[in-house]
Amino acid sequence: MKTRRAGFIILSPGVLTTVFVISFLSVPISETSAAEYSRRPHAVVQQAAPGDARWTSGFWADRCETARTQIIPSMQRLMEGTTHTHFLRNFEIAAGLVEGSSRGASFNDGDFYKWMEAASATLATERNPDLEKRLDEIIAIIARAQRDDGYIHTKVLIKRLNGDTNALPFQDRRNFEMYNMGHLLTTASVHHRITGQTNLLSIARKSADFLYENFNHASPEAARSSVCPSHYMGMIDLYRATGEPRYLELAQRCFELRSQITDGGDDNQDRIPFEEQRVAMGHAVRANYLYAGAADLYMETGNRSLWNPLEPIWTNLVFRKMYITGGCGALYDGASPDGSKDQGTITKTHQAYGRNYQLPNTTAHSETCANIGNVLWNWRMFLATGQARYVDVAERALYNSVLSGVSLSGTNFFYTNPLRVTDPLPADLRWSRTRVPFVSSFCCPPNLARLLTQTSNYAYSISNDSIWLNLYGSSSFSTRLGDGNAVKLKQETEYPWNGRIRITVEESGENPFTVKLRVPGWVEDYSVHVNRHLIENPVTNDGYIELHRTWSTGDIVDLVLPMEVRLIEANPLVEETLNQLAVMRGPVVYCLESPDLPDDVGILDVSISEKEPILARFDSRMLGGVVILEGALYTKQPAKWENQLYREYRSSKGKTVKTRFIPYYAWGNRGPSEMSVWLPRF
């Protein structure tokens, strides 16, 4: 039996087996070049076009290869299947291709779009005809599921299809409709920029047009449907991809609406107007997405009422509420902030930013999505200002609390990222302390996949006559500056294991330009040479070395960032880490894991001394090849605390044991274990 609909021929009585795309309703778009796409009128720095930067070898190239060959294929099998829940199957049901009911979380649509974004991003550096074909088939299914007016949210569509006449858009504040459509807009923009196709972009435009009509004259109540606000970033992404001013107007309108809400709460950052907020509060993922969206909208409009809250909120987060790993959202459950005198207005919040300095280690929530949101927000803060401190925070999260969310194999994931794990745990916690292939809230794995596949987009950026080097790693970069100058650079380094970085000019053009090199905040001293000549007292601005000259092909810049092992202490107001130390080297946070201790010594039985040297050594056989830190710890006689909360102190003379520290992101890859980032000072 053949069925015709919207330009497709579907062959099958039940399950979609083959989709022949014979035509697609293409909405005219304002074609933009890569340079035009990257231009944000109120930004100091512009993002380079996708594909301009490529990791060539080393740390991030290896992670991207794992994403391409392991994470994305295994996730595709899971999300196209029905073993755990429904992702693609929900779209198939909504499209009328199979019968059934909606299954899974309300945000499963958005999580599937994230996987599509990650898959699309890999095509910027390596063609994959099979993947491209499958994406086209999936896009055809989504187009068939979408309502004629542009609305698309499979949970509502399936209920309606199954006879529930009460299933209407935006009836449930917690239905994640805007979140899902926001990720659709971002994914479609990425897919279009990389492939040049408009099939998914047309779906996104229909969805955005639906939102424009619904929110153009909406009440503030309508904005309360905007839980977990990915849609601000999505609307701006679509505006940049199409040049359609209505999508920018839509983002502005939605922001205006949220500030008029009178019955909001901290769980969605709408208890008080955004313009009045000055501290990081509420649900950490939703907060970081909101802050990123506000920064995006500011870069397009220059509206200072959007920018003014961001700096004090950032200061509150970075200096009072962020883990050493860049993790965000300390509390499983709490008020925002708990203990406040304003108990009449604050609300209970899941995965919350709590009080200042409230950073528990064993019960840390630190959801991977919140930490990814930290990267997204800080990247936009950097583009808006050109200040290296924001890249410092993004880099800290990337190397630590983001990367810890996935196993070295690429097939198992953390939802939360604790800084200490003991056996037994002090409480029965609801998220696993070992990585697993699937969790019921599957938002983090595809979010991590889309970020990993686009890390090269953060490595370099541009301004009128400058190239900014932000993240270090062996890579190539080709671009055309504002004056038309074509430039190509090659970067060679073993960063983050080694602080020696070499940049070779492979194409320079005729005009002078500036190479800007980020000096990370952890660096106390550095040296920079051009063609082996030391640059004395180089010009620096906002954390970047500025090298301005007329460059020639073959010119070489050598930057050396010494990587010493550093012992870190926390503000004494962080009660959980009082009189404790953590270990860092370069941007990498280290931890102690029980496989590196004698069998009769536990994580809670050791302490660290600043008098004992800790030496760095690269071990190619360890955890995929990492720098490990070797040193001695002091032990005490293990004591049993069963049915004891307090007891009289007794000095317990122990011994020293030689051990090693591993990068925090790699813990848990050798089976179940105890682990701690912080150790008592001896």
pLDDT in tens, 190-200: 999 999 999 99
pLDDT above 50 (res 23): no
pLDDT-based confidence at 225, cuts 50/70/90? low
Position 562 scores a pLDDT of: 97
Position 571 scores a pLDDT of: 98
Mean pLDDT score, 351-358? 93
Position 341 scores a pLDDT of: 75
pLDDT in tens, 625-655: 999 999 999 998 877 888 899 988 887 777 8
pLDDT-based confidence at 261, cuts 50/70/90? confident
pLDDT in tens, 115-124: 999 999 999 9
pLDDT-based confidence at 4, cuts 50/70/90? very low
Average pLDDT taken over every residue of the chain: 91
Q: How far apart are CA 29 and CA 243, in angstroms?
A: 7
Three-class SS of 50-82? CCCEEECCCHHHHHHHHHHHHHHHHHHHHHHCC
**Residue count (the chain):** 682
Mean pLDDT score, 80-92? 97
Position 31 scores a pLDDT of: 39
pLDDT-based confidence at 8, cuts 50/70/90? very low
pLDDT above 80 (res 378): yes
pLDDT above 70 (res 400): yes
Mean pLDDT score, 209-217? 91
Lowest mean pLDDT among 166-170, 217-221, 417-421, 576-580: 217-221
Number of Cβ atoms within 10 Å of the Cβ of 570: 19
Position 217 scores a pLDDT of: 80
Q: What percent of the chain has a predicted confidence (pLDDT) above 90? A: 80
Range 50-73 burial, b when 16+ CB lie within 10 A, else e: bbbbbbeebbbbebbebbbebbbe
3-state helix, strand, coil in the chain (%, to 5): 35, 20, 45
pLDDT-based confidence at 157, cuts 50/70/90? very high
Pairing mode, if any, of strands 486-493 and 588-593?
A: unpaired
Mean pLDDT score, 503-517? 96
Mean pLDDT score, 262-275? 89
Please give the CATH number for the structural domain made up of 461-560: 2.60.40
Position 337 scores a pLDDT of: 67
Return the closest-CA partner of residue 38 out of 53, 60, 56: 53
Give the pair of three-digit tokens for residue 671. Answer: 């089976």
Task: Find all residues with CB under 8 Å of 314, minimum gap 6, and list them.
Answer: 291, 377, 378, 381, 390
pLDDT above 90 (res 430): no
Position 623 scores a pLDDT of: 97
* Greatest distance between any 2 Cα atoms in the chain: 83
pLDDT-based confidence at 262, cuts 50/70/90? confident
Position 28 scores a pLDDT of: 37
Position 394 scores a pLDDT of: 98
pLDDT in tens, 486-495: 999 999 999 9
pLDDT in tens, 34-66: 345 458 999 999 999 999 999 999 999 999 999
Q: What sign does the dihedral 52-56-58-64 (CA atoms) show?
A: positive
Domain ranges of the chain: 461-560, 565-680
